[in-house]
């Protein structure tokens, strides 16, 4: 924001009077210089003898060296998980619950440390890792601890039987939280796990391994193998996997589905999205503006259910656009470790390039761009909050998942047109509806082909509430009772 001069002399002495002082989070992150693989309860060197760097997107500095797992390492992890499966699955649910409760409490004890590590490694604002990612990860362990001894009540009259070893591959946008979404239900239902974090964000998973050790979790129940797509492919294609749970891009999800066809392995996929956030003219507009901002700028827009397509009723489009522009000016983009930062660093150079390419396509296809003036840090990967108006359905920015802080604004006249435009996508993960009318909320939520429909709010999550997609956003549910059923067979 350009400086507003109240007192030029004071400004000379103290700089821009309208700027906050830097307020970096000060808790130490305790990141090791090098991490091995976590197999059978211990950290071991990779058989490949190879390591790769994990850098901080905040300033491009190297944080740690991460082991690169090859096929033999992945196999060792599966062998450990297979050996651990028998005793773990035979353990009474009440005993498994104790481990899950212990894990949840240990994570809470170390919450600040984990929040800082998550922010350093992935680039998300500290206020989000501190107030959302880490507490929600602990909440998922608490919630599933509660289920572990009540599995006979999930579907009364039937018994949930665990599947075996679960192979899990997760993305970089919510590293610790996606780990919790995957591990907590798998363990509660009596399965064992081989999990691969994303290559840019392995650190909190490896720190989490020390929590598993402190909780006394039996060796082999959870194993972490690190690496990129090749390691992921080895996890997905290992013959000992009874089920694969994947969260990431639709392209990789499709490849996994092809590879697994005919193998008898169970599969759940949580893929991309291009959510419509729909605002009717009777909505509480200021509340809607906050919801729109949160819907697209939360976690720099690296959110599969981000409200990246704003559909506004034509009569209020101008008003909403001008309110959004004003609100955008107050967003603070910069150092994610600063407690005042709203928009942190883009997770990787590759993701920044993808965002830049799609924004360039938006401009060349004729949409109108708005970005507030802001100074971005010199080092690291940053992108300013961006609005596109005059967007039409055929524009790439209206069809493709940008996975960045970029909102495309489209308009509609009637509820029917809103539904048609909202559903006109390959995806179907989430949607939002803003209106004063309860009946309209119910009608819209039935007609929108999306796994989650938020009403007069956006991006709200709870472990009790199942999450998952329609169409190319994937299948299977995570959270709630439905999530448990995806980790068991019914007898
Ligand atoms: P990706 O699908 O390539 O990566 C996700 C995970 O899959 C990572 O752990 C990766 O190492 C692993 N992986 C990659 N190739 C694999 C393979 N052949 N077999 C098994 N595992 C493999 O996603 P990305 O390249 O990091 O991001 C690209 C796009 O994906 C983003 O722009 C976004 O649109 C989407 N995405 C969606 C989510 C989500 O939560 N749904 C998360 C991250 C990215
Ligand atoms: Mn990193």
- CA–centroid distance, residue 56 to ligand 2 (Å): 5
Assess whether the C-beta atom of 229 lies below 6 angstroms from ligand 1. Answer: yes
HSE-up of residue 188 (Cα within 13 Å, Cβ side)? 32
* Confidence (pTM): 0.95
* Tens digits of pLDDT across the chain (491 residues): 454 545 555 555 555 656 678 899 989 999 999 999 999 999 999 999 999 999 999 999 999 999 999 999 999 999 999 999 999 999 999 999 999 999 999 999 999 999 999 999 999 999 999 999 999 999 999 999 999 999 999 999 999 999 999 999 999 999 999 999 999 999 999 999 999 999 999 999 999 999 999 999 999 999 999 999 999 999 999 999 999 999 999 999 999 999 999 999 999 999 999 999 999 999 999 999 999 999 999 999 999 999 999 999 999 999 999 999 999 999 999 999 999 999 999 999 999 999 999 999 999 999 999 999 989 999 999 999 999 999 999 999 999 999 999 999 999 999 999 999 999 999 999 999 999 999 999 999 999 999 999 999 999 999 999 999 999 999 999 999 999 999 999 99
Q: String of b and e for 414-437 (b: at least 16 CB within 10 Å)? A: ebeebbebbbebebbbbbbbbbee
Q: Which ligand is nearest to the CA of 347?
A: 2
Distance CA 311, CA 206 (A): 41
Q: Which ligand is nearest to the CA of 308?
A: 1
- CA–centroid distance, residue 479 to ligand 1 (Å): 21
Q: Which residue, judged by its Cα, is nearest atom 25 of ligand 1? A: 249
Instruction: Give the Cβ contact number of residue 88 at 10 Å.
Output: 23
Name the pairing type of β-strands 42-44 and 37-39: antiparallel
Domains plus CATH for the chain? 34-271+470-490 (3.40.605.10), 276-455 (3.40.309.10)
- CA–centroid distance, residue 335 to ligand 2 (Å): 15
């Amino acid at each position: 924001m350009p400086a507003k001069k109240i007192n030029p002399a004071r400004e000379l002495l103290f700089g821009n009077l309208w700027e906050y002082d830097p307020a970096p989070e000060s808790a130490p992150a305790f990141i090791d210089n090098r991490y091995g693989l976590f197999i059978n309860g211990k950290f071991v060197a990779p058989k490949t003898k190879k390591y790769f760097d994990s850098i901080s997107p905040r300033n491009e500095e190297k944080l740690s060296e991460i082991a690169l797992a090859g096929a033999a390492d992945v196999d060792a992890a599966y062998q450990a998980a297979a050996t651990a499966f028998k005793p773990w699955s035979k353990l009474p649910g009440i005993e498994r619950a104790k481990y899950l409760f212990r894990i949840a409490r240990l994570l809470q004890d170390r919450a600040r440390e984990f929040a800082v590590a998550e922010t350093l490694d992935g680039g998300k604002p500290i206020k989000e890792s501190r107030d959302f990612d880490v507490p929600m990860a602990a909440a998922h362990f608490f919630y599933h601890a509660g289920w572990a001894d009540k599995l006979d009540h999930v579907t009364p009259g039937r018994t949930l039987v665990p599947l075996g070893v679960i192979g899990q591959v997760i993305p970089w946008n919510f590293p610790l939280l996606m780990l919790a979404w995957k591990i907590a239900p798998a363990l509660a239902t009596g399965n064992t796990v081989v999990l691969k974090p994303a290559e840019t964000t392995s650190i909190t998973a490896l720190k989490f391994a020390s929590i598993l050790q402190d909780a006394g979790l039996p060796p082999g129940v959870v194993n972490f193998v690190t690496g990129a797509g090749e390691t992921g492919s080895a996890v997905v294609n290992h013959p000992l996997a009874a089920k694969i749970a994947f969260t990431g891009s639709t392209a990789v999800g499709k490849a996994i589905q092809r590879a697994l066809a005919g193998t008898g392995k169970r599969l759940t996929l949580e893929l991309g999205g291009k959510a419509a956030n729909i605002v009717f003219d009777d909505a509480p507009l200021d509340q809607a503006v906050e919801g729109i901002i949160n819907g697209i700028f939360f976690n720099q827009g690296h959110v599969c259910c981000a409200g990246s397509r704003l559909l506004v009723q034509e009569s209020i489009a101008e008003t909403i656009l001008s309110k959004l522009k004003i609100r955008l000016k107050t967003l603070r983009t910069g150092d994610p470790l600063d407690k005042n930062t709203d928009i942190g660093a883009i997770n990787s150079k590759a993701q920044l390039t993808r965002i830049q390419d799609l924004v360039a396509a938006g401009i060349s296809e004729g949409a109108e761009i708005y970005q507030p003036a802001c100074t971005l840090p010199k080092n690291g990967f940053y992108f300013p909050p961006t609005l596109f108006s005059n967007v039409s359905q055929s524009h790439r920015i209206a069809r493709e998942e940008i996975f960045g802080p970029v909102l495309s604004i489209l308009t509609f006249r009637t509820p029917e047109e809103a539904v048609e435009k909202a559903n006109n996508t390959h995806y179907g993960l989430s949607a939002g509806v803003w209106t004063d009318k309860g009946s309209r909320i119910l009608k819209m939520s039935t007609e929108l082909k999306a796994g989650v429909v938020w009403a007069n709010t956006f991006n709200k999550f709870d472990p009790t509430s199942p999450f998952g997609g329609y169409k190319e956003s994937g299948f299977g549910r995570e959270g709630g009772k439905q999530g448990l059923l995806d980790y068991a067979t019914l007898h």
